Chain A
Amino acid sequence: MRILLVEDEKDLAGIIKQGLEEAGYAVDMAHDGEEGLYMAETYPVDAVVLDIMLPLMDGIEVLKRLRKKGVTTPVILLTARDALLDKIKGLDTGADDYLTKPFVFDELLARIRSLLRRKATVKEAVIRVADLEVDTASHQVKRAGKSVPLSAKEYSLLEFLAYRRGNVVSRTDIVEHIYNEEAEMDSNVVDVYINYLRNKIDRDHRKKLIHTVRGAGYILKED
């Protein structure tokens, strides 16, 4: 999953980016409103974490313009003010959630997960495909009740497929959602990671869950 973080306070942006990446997200970063708006419009991000007090254009304005252009990406507003009016204004402008600084980082993660679920066809925190369990909160993956250790990137890929279980996902989609703009866009990488995932999830089981759809991409389904 790819997240856009718009925060002008560079130290804060840096550490949040680190935290999000460690949680398995691909993170793009913008430091002012105009850059944030541009990136939110252009990049296929799955969620935006948007600070309200921003240089050049404030977060509310960014959100207003995004929604006006029909961009429905879920947005979490971050603000240093907890005035009720600000919250109401933010939510009315089209924010999906609201977090007041300073916040507990785990809460930000939980809210991001909740937003991603809302967008996905799956609404549970634990996504199940046959006997495969993907716990999006703890990032624990189990196959037939047995824990499967995955690297962060492998997990991101599996989670991306799991959120879209039963749907074909193209290589480009995968690259765009599990890497940020700084990564080398090489769809061969996807094949490599799919291979790793198959080794860890499908190899020891008769029932295969990750399937290749020739010329289209991959699909995670029961058969």
Chain B
Amino acid sequence: MKPYMFNSIKLKLVIWFIIVFSVFFAALEIFLYNEIEELTLELADEHVHSELETLANLMAIEEAQGHMVDELQELSAAVTGVYAEKLSGHYYQILSSDGRILVQSPSLSLAGGSLPVVAPGKEPVFATITGPGGEPVRMMTQSFDFAMGTLTFQAADSLEETAELMGSFRMIVLAIFPAVFIVCILGVFLITGWALRPLRSFSGKVGEITEENLGERLDERGTAAELRPLAASFNTMLGRLEESFSKQRQFLSDASHELRTPTSIIKSFCDITLGRERGAQEYRDALKKIGETVNRMCDIINRILVISRMDSKTIQFKPARVELMDLMKDVKRLIEQTALHKGVTMSIGGRDVAVKGDREGLTEVFTNIVENAIKYNRPGGRVDINVGEFMGNAVVSVEDTGIGIPEEELERIFDRFYRVDASRGVTVGSGLGLSIVKTIIEAHGGRIEVKSQRGKGSTFTVFLPVKNGNAAAQA
């Protein structure tokens, strides 16, 4: 047996039910049995008590009339009814103070038996004894004072009827208990099965959801109240899953789309160049173009790799103290050639601020931003870099005099593979640069903002939390 077989709500419910039901039902029956037994005994006692009292009253009347002892035998002879019948189960006898049997009911005398003699006492004494016929009897003994002396009265009634009653009660209980027990267990099985049905259908519905139909949701309102929170949190989880799946799918499709353009350039160059015999120069030109395109492809692939590593968090940032002014000067040096080529003047101003971050990552960030500022600038334009501090943040702004970004596109420029240039007739870059920038900045706990005016230029502002001195060492 595997342990999980016992890990069933239904089985647990049934076991608990059996235990509780058995204990309760057994206790109830024991209690009822005792109660009934006591009650029947009380009834028997009452009965013998009234018999005995009748006898005693009779004796008192006889005594008052003056004929006492002589009459006793007559009394016994005159008895009719159940007391006259041999071993009828109803007996009496009267004893003298010295323990002699003065009178016996014919039911006793006819059988030649007697009730066991008990010491006289003024208080009534009850006892269950074995009667002359071997049957259990309830006997009462009580002594009264008469002129002739103390007389002890004994009356007894058979308990056979009571025993019979209790016997049949026991029979009934023993027969009913298992029947009720079985019916109840069946009931519990059915009820738990019925109660757990929503859970089964719930898990059935959950089981139907795969990668293909992540858009489906569980019907929260149609679910049992107890399962609603589960359905709700399941739906929330599905939502998150769906989002991440679709993001991933989108990324994959965008990435493959991005690679198709250079692939088709290479392919077309091969197809067309190989289509006929050509001179060496033509082959060289074609190979050169193919080489350039392959470089472009490699760049795209590298960026895709960076992004997917950042997504899977396998890129390790090595945080260290980075002086931003110093870093921006490095960036300027890296890009100076491009700026010169385009005829764009770069300037750096402000004051030095240190942050804790990954120097390589931050270099990538600012190189990208400044490169864009130059790329989309006009010849003779400017790129002004300012480093400063504002409300606990290091602030680096890069302002250009370029073509600007249309307002409706501002939101999307940080999206992966989104290219503003695509709609401006300029084809450069992979469309991944700014999304990498944003990811790196966010990994540093910072944010990036952009303001732009068409035709006048754009300003990218990067905010990075300042952590210098001791704070940097602790963080």
A residues contacting B by CB (< 8 A) are: 8-12, 15-16, 18-19, 22, 31-32, 53, 55-56, 80-81, 83, 101-106
Contacts and interface: CB of A to CB of B under 8 A. Distances in A.
B271 A106 contact: yes
B260 A22 contact: no
Contacts of A102: 260, 263-264, 266-268
Q: Which of B266, B269, B424: most chain A CB closer than 10 A?
A: B269
8 contacts: A11-B265, A11-B289, A12-B265, A22-B276, A56-B425, A101-B264, A104-B267, A105-B275
B423 interface: yes
Contact of B260 (A11, A56, A80): A80
A10 B296 CA distance: 14
B261 A9 contact: yes
A16 B266 CA distance: 11
Nearest to A14: B289
B268 A105 contact: yes
Interface string B243-270: 0000000000100010011011111110
A103 B265 CA distance: 10
Given A80-B257, A81-B257, A15 B265 contact: yes
Q: Which of A18, A22, A101, A106: most chain B CB closer than 10 A?
A: A101
Secondary structure of the B contact surface, majority rule: helix
A80 B263 CA distance: 10
A15 B422 contact: no
Contact of B268 (A10, A16, A81): A16
A93 to B, nearest CB: 20
Contacts, number: 67
The 5 closest A-B pairs by CB, nearest first: A102-B264, A105-B271, A19-B272, A80-B260, A101-B264
Nearest to A57: B423
Given A32-B425, A53-B422, A56-B423, A19 B263 contact: no
A18 B271 CA distance: 11
Contacts of A106: 271
Interface of B: 253, 257, 260-261, 263-269, 271-272, 275-276, 289, 292-293, 421-425, 427
Q: Which of A10, A16, A102, A104: most chain B CB closer than 10 A?
A: A102
Nearest to B292: A11
B422 A11 contact: no
A22 B272 contact: yes
A8 B425 contact: yes
A105 B257 CA distance: 19
B425 to A, nearest CB: 5
Contacts of A12: 261, 264-265, 268
Contacts of A56: 423, 425
B272 A55 contact: no
Contacts of B425: 8, 31-32, 55-56
Contacts of A18: 272
Given A80-B260, A80-B261, A19 B427 contact: no
A106 B257 CA distance: 22
A87 to B, nearest CB: 15
Given A15-B268, A104-B271, A55 B423 contact: yes
Contacts of B423: 55-56
A2 B125 CA distance: 135
B264 A55 contact: no
Given A8-B425, A31-B425, A81-B253, A101 B261 contact: yes
A53 B418 CA distance: 12
Contact of B289 (A15, A31, A53): A15
A19 B286 CA distance: 12
Contacts of B292: 11
Nearest to B289: A11
Contacts of A31: 425
Contacts of A9: 261, 265, 427
B62 to A, nearest CB: 122
Contacts of A11: 265, 289, 292-293
Contacts of B261: 9, 12, 80, 101
Nearest to A102: B264
A102 B268 CA distance: 8
B257 A103 contact: no
A103 B260 CA distance: 10
Q: Which of B265, B268, B276, B425: most chain A CB closer than 10 A?
A: B268
Contacts of A53: 422
A22 B275 contact: yes
